[in-house]
Homo-oligomer: A and B are copies of this chain.
């Protein structure tokens, strides 16, 4: 099976930056590494690419392993290949980022990994070059979310506009005028107003909305303005 003789073969890993939103802050899910080197230190969830699986399959497997979730938003971020990034043996890592509904995440499943959610501003020291991966994932999510409706992936099926606004404000670390925000998101034609309200946040209650999946898929690639001055990324 080794036909390209004389060429170096090396380890290939996949690391996942898993984003969640708890209603207030954007967070990522980290584990305590279970093996050497760096055993016991905070790390992204990752794993080696197996013989018979594609990179996407590996990423999905790893994501499911930790969260129990399948079919969620997962996108290849970047591939990191510095020869010395893993001191034990050269390992090239393909980073993916995932956007999940934090409420669907099952704590039990990931107990083995001692997984914990960290708000982005308080991420602990990570192993290898994973700090850089997280930073790049943060940039990518901002970049993309400024123009494409990816942040809906972080919310439950039913959500309110105030919830959505808090999410955008959290991701972009800014405040947005609620009248303009409301106009902006409703103008996309991506939202369907539901009959019932979320009474948790206020006495009056806020109407639930859900995504119009038709328009969502159709317009996903279009450029939309979700953020007033997206230059300051």
Contacts and interface: CB of A to CB of B under 8 A. Distances in A.
A157 B51 CA distance: 47
Interface in A1-37: 1-4, 7-12
A163 interface: no
A90 interface: yes
A128 interface: no
Count identical subunits in the complex: 2
Nearest to A89: B3
Nearest to A88: B3
Interface stretch (A73-81, A103-111, A114-122, A191-199): A73-81
Contacts of A52: 83
A189 B230 CA distance: 19
B89 A2 contact: yes
Contact of A222 (B55, B91, B231): B231
A27 B91 CA distance: 35
In terms of DSSP, what is the predominant structure of the interface of chain A?
A: loop
Interface residues of A, number: 40
Residue of A2, A4, A78 with most chain B CB atoms under a 10 A cut-off? A4
Given A9-B10, A55-B92, A231-B222, A4 B48 contact: yes
A180 interface: no
A175 interface: no
A21 to B, nearest CB: 24
A83 B230 contact: no
A90 B51 contact: yes
Contacts of A11: 4, 7-9
A8 B49 contact: yes
A43 to B, nearest CB: 15
